[in-house]
Structure 1
Amino acid sequence: MSLGWAILPLFIMVITMVITIINLEQGPHIPLIVGTTVAAIVAWKHGFKWSDIEEMMYKGIKLALPAVVIIILVGLIIGSWIGGGVVATMIFYGLKIITPAFFLVTICVICSIVSLAIGSSWSTMGTIGVAGMGIGLSMGIPAGMIAGAVISGAYFGDKMSPLSDTTNLAAGLTGTDLFVHIKHMFYTTIPGILIALGVYAFLGNRYKSSNIDQEGINQTISMLDQSFVISPWLLLVPLAVIVLVALKVPAIPALIVGILLGFLSQILIQGGSVADAVGALQSGYVIDTGNAMVDDLFNRGGLDSMMYTVSMTIVAMTFGGILEYSGMLQSIMNQILKFAKSAGSLIASTIVACFATNATCSEQYISIVVPARMFSTTYTKMGLHSKNLSRALEDGGTLTSVFIPWNTCGVFILGTLGVGVAEYAPFAILNFIVPIISIIYAMTGFTIQKISEAEKLAILNKETVEL
């Protein structure tokens, strides 16, 4: 398929998206449906039957089903933890312990540690991140700034954890030893997180205690104490989930345990009825304290609150499925490969391709899978070690997914933290600084490791035999 036909659906989708979001102030669902329709017409024009096009859409949706399950469970866990007083307890003690000047640094570090332990940025944002938003907002810190610190921390741990699915995926697809892959990512990710923490420390100085309405913080603490039973024992609920995942219990069973514990906490500790607890799971927790900020923070969660995110994910993946399986995406990638004349330009092209896949296919996993398949042989032919490719996949794919409003990651963050891409993007420091560092390394040759001619021939011969 020619490049012109391949980019036509993407071009029309982006134009429609800009008009719909900026001018009409509506959501991105309809532009994605428009893009899917145009992609289907282009595929049909190039000889695909309607049954083939339907199958492409179904395949795209199937790829996102694990993410859909996690999205639903996170909605349930937010509802149950708010109803059970778990989130209120974390915010209560957080307001008493954390000072505003160090809040952004602290929440970023905490999210890094938790995500590193459990290997999931989504689970971290859906639990620790939600509480962090409450603490930061109570201190008068802008929502985008808080979300940026939460996202940076959560994605640092996700990227560097041996338990992370994206980390294992990038290593596995490129044939790189897992811990060799993680060690190679230290060169880009550690400087990235240090820069992020430095920026958060600088920003935090604007929110020293002298500039904060301490009376407002005290009022929030008092309101939480009046509205919920606050107990340090409730902190065992998130701790239990973290321990389970650290013990390599899969994310879904671990989250279900967290939901059950939150459900029981609402009934046994908060004194709510079974009907109230079930309602919190279905429709979210409902509270009326008279304090607008507290009400806005706690009136949320539940299965229903995630349906916007679920529908967005499904629509986005129908678009991505047609682009992927009709060959449109491959046509775009082939054009990108034409610029890869050297090792540096190849790695830079990989990072750009990962970002482009995040934008076109709307799914973080595809942004790793497709470029891995397309660039692997080229890396070998240029005599580059596979760990260069695996690192580029994570630097360009895993981290940049949060900057696409219609990507499953961007949609999840909006549904979970209540903050849109435009608001948090300038403060998600790690997520945009690491790809920049990675491209600089590629152009200078720093940390780029090559293989011998014998190793190169052995790998190419093995690939030929497998084919």
Structure 2
Amino acid sequence: MKKNRGLALLPFAVFIVLFAGVGIISGDFYGMPALLAFLTALFVGMLQNRELSFNDKMAVISKGAGDINIITMVLIFLLAGAFSGVVSAAGGVTSAVNFGLSIVPSQFLVVGLFVIGCFISLSMGTSMGTIAALAPIALGIAEKTGFSAAACAGAVVCGAMFGDNLSMISDTTIAAVRTQGCEMKDKFKQNFFIVLPAAILTVFLFYANSKGHTTQLTGEYTYDVIQIIPYFVVLIGALIGFNVFSVLIVGIVLSSAVGVAQGTFTLIESFKAIGTGMTGLFEISIISIIVACIVALVKENGGIDLIIESIKKNLKGKRGAEFGIALLIFLVDLCTANNTIAIVMAGPIAKEIGDEFGVEPKRVASILDIFASVGQGLIPYGAQLLTAAALLSISPIEIMPYLYYQPLMAVSVILFILFRPQKVRR
């Protein structure tokens, strides 16, 4: 196999053909379950390399699946899902959305959708949850004020991708950090200053687009600050540098206490909310383990070395490696239409490239997460645009002209790579 290392990449090709191919043929990019496509790819990998016995291959994939970063990532996924489930059940999402809407002046309603989306997604750690919470409100704003429904949807999607890329409990952040072996707080700080200019410019663009509208949005938006506190505790605790497991557990306990104290649910019902939240991340947890198995086989057969050598031939230095990582994750996301899966797939390869060229892990993690979000937030067949379009009864293509934030993120990363001083990795 190592003499013909191109065949080692066959499992990746099988996944792309199955997942993307079925989507193109059927018009439904979720017609082929990602888990089934990855499992098929793993079986293909197991059939390769006759020099290894079946038991030897099982040992290889078991070692890959049992890697400390993979196990840690899965456990964090489950805790993040638990926190998201219980804090939502306690009313935290509704209160956070209503709090933002209650303080936004009428002339800034579209801008407000973006800013609120940033806050909600940063707190919830999920772009899909943010879109589900804000899209109906965006529809109401469009119907009552005359703002373009597509512009309102674009503001929601842009805000959702902001937090999806930055949140401490986002599955993409967890995947990027764990595959690169860096600290969440370091990745957050690095990432935040990269995307901040893009977010500021997006605010101005949405304001310019909605300038002249002064209709006041009617309706009462009640909120409870106490229900929002768990979000702040998790965010601040993670930024300070507390252990992520401890931070999430505290958030879960605090959210449960708030819900029980306010009579939103009973203690037993809080357990059900926690379980429901965990269930939402079961699939990505299993996918992460299967992808780790595939990557272990590909690496054993020389495929990872082939990718690194190919990049070394075509790119020079750290900046070249960083551009290679950005292109790699962007293309993988276009094929998978899932930024978390894209990071889980490309993360180990990106780490090998980073190690080879001496790129800091936090830089690699930031580039991975940002460019995965850029791709995911732009493709019209991605879940984010499809959901927003469905909830506002418009086409995903109509939303695309208002997706300011994602291209600006890409520009910010390119400038970051070109002009930020390079540090030698230790």
Q: TM-score normalised to the size of structure 2?
A: 0.69
Name the residue aligned to 1:382: none
Name the residue aligned to 2:9: 7
Task: Output aligned runs, 1:51-90, within 5 Å.
Answer: 51-62=55-66, 63-90=69-96
Equivalent of residue 314 in structure 1, options 289, 293, 297: 289
User: Which structure 2 residue ranges, 5 or more long, are not aligned?
Assistant: 140-148, 390-394
User: Aligned to 2:260, what secondary structure does the other structure show?
Assistant: helix
CA distance in 2, matches of 1:107, 1:355: 27
User: Aligned to 1:139, what secondary structure does the other structure show?
Assistant: helix
* Aligned partners of 1:107 and 1:150 also within 8 Å: no
Task: Output aligned runs, 1:277-292, within 5 Å.
Answer: 277-283=270-276
CA distance in 2, matches of 1:392, 1:247: 20
1:145 is displaced (CA, Å) by 4.8
Name the residue aligned to 1:137: 136
CA distance in 2, matches of 1:52, 1:60: 13
1:61 is displaced (CA, Å) by 2.9
1:174-219 Cα deviation digits (max 9, x unpaired) = xxxx79x978995x6454444444454456x299564x9x46x55x
- In structure 2, relative to structure 1, the CA distance for the partners of 1:260 and 1:338 (3 Å cut) is same
CA distance in 2, matches of 1:154, 1:310: 17
Name the residue aligned to 2:21: 19
- In structure 2, relative to structure 1, the CA distance for the partners of 1:354 and 1:277 (3 Å cut) is closer
* Aligned partners of 1:148 and 1:428 also within 8 Å: yes
* Aligned partners of 1:86 and 1:234 also within 8 Å: yes
CA distance in 2, matches of 1:450, 1:239: 33
**1:351 aligns to 2:361 (yes or no):** no
Name the residue aligned to 1:289: none
* Aligned partners of 2:118 and 2:163 also within 8 Å: yes
1:135 is displaced (CA, Å) by 3.8
- In structure 2, relative to structure 1, the CA distance for the partners of 1:49 and 1:200 (3 Å cut) is farther
Residue 15 of structure 1 aligns with an amino acid whose one-letter code is V
- In structure 2, relative to structure 1, the CA distance for the partners of 1:132 and 1:209 (3 Å cut) is farther
User: Aligned to 2:52, what secondary structure does the other structure show?
Assistant: coil
1:315 is displaced (CA, Å) by 3.0
CA distance in 1, matches of 2:179, 2:20: 33
CA distance in 1, matches of 2:416, 2:249: 42
User: Aligned to 1:399, what secondary structure does the other structure show?
Assistant: helix
- In structure 2, relative to structure 1, the CA distance for the partners of 1:209 and 1:60 (3 Å cut) is farther
Name the residue aligned to 1:276: 269
* Aligned partners of 1:36 and 1:319 also within 8 Å: yes
1:325 is displaced (CA, Å) by 3.8
Equivalent of residue 364 in structure 1, options 340, 343, 356: 343
Residue 42 of structure 2 aligns with an amino acid whose one-letter code is T
User: Aligned to 1:48, what secondary structure does the other structure show?
Assistant: coil
**1:447 aligns to 2:419 (yes or no):** yes
**1:101 aligns to 2:76 (yes or no):** no
Residue 238 of structure 1 aligns with an amino acid whose one-letter code is Y
Q: TM-score normalised to the size of structure 1?
A: 0.64
Equivalent of residue 252 in structure 2, options 259, 266, 275: 259
* Aligned partners of 1:104 and 1:200 also within 8 Å: no
Task: Output aligned runs, 1:358-437, within 5 Å.
Answer: 362=341, 364=343, 367=346, 370-374=349-353, 376=355, 379=357, 393-394=364-365, 396-402=367-373, 433-436=408-411
Residue 294 of structure 2 aligns with an amino acid whose one-letter code is F
CA distance in 2, matches of 1:207, 1:278: 48
CA distance in 2, matches of 1:108, 1:83: 19
**1:125 aligns to 2:131 (yes or no):** no
* Aligned partners of 1:76 and 1:282 also within 8 Å: yes
- In structure 2, relative to structure 1, the CA distance for the partners of 1:428 and 1:28 (3 Å cut) is farther
Q: Name the larger-Rg structure.
A: 1
CA distance in 2, matches of 1:88, 1:259: 17
Residue 146 of structure 1 aligns with an amino acid whose one-letter code is V
Name the residue aligned to 1:231: 224
* Aligned partners of 1:85 and 1:270 also within 8 Å: no
1:76 is displaced (CA, Å) by 1.8
- In structure 2, relative to structure 1, the CA distance for the partners of 1:182 and 1:169 (3 Å cut) is farther
1:238 is displaced (CA, Å) by 2.2
CA distance in 1, matches of 2:97, 2:269: 22
1:139 is displaced (CA, Å) by 2.7
User: Aligned to 1:338, what secondary structure does the other structure show?
Assistant: helix
1:17 is displaced (CA, Å) by 0.7
Task: Output aligned runs, 1:132-211, within 5 Å.
Answer: 133-140=132-139, 145-155=155-165, 189-201=195-207, 205=210, 210=215
1:423 is displaced (CA, Å) by 6.6
* Aligned partners of 1:368 and 1:397 also within 8 Å: yes
1:393 is displaced (CA, Å) by 2.5
**1:248 aligns to 2:241 (yes or no):** yes
CA distance in 2, matches of 1:450, 1:69: 33
Name the residue aligned to 1:293: none
User: Aligned to 2:314, what secondary structure does the other structure show?
Assistant: coil
1:14 is displaced (CA, Å) by 0.8
CA distance in 2, matches of 1:124, 1:239: 11
The count of residues paired between Structure 1 and Structure 2 equals 382
CA distance in 1, matches of 2:20, 2:178: 35
More moved, 136-145 vs 19-28 = 136-145
- In structure 2, relative to structure 1, the CA distance for the partners of 1:208 and 1:356 (3 Å cut) is same
**1:328 aligns to 2:337 (yes or no):** no
1:329 is displaced (CA, Å) by 2.1
- In structure 2, relative to structure 1, the CA distance for the partners of 1:428 and 1:32 (3 Å cut) is farther
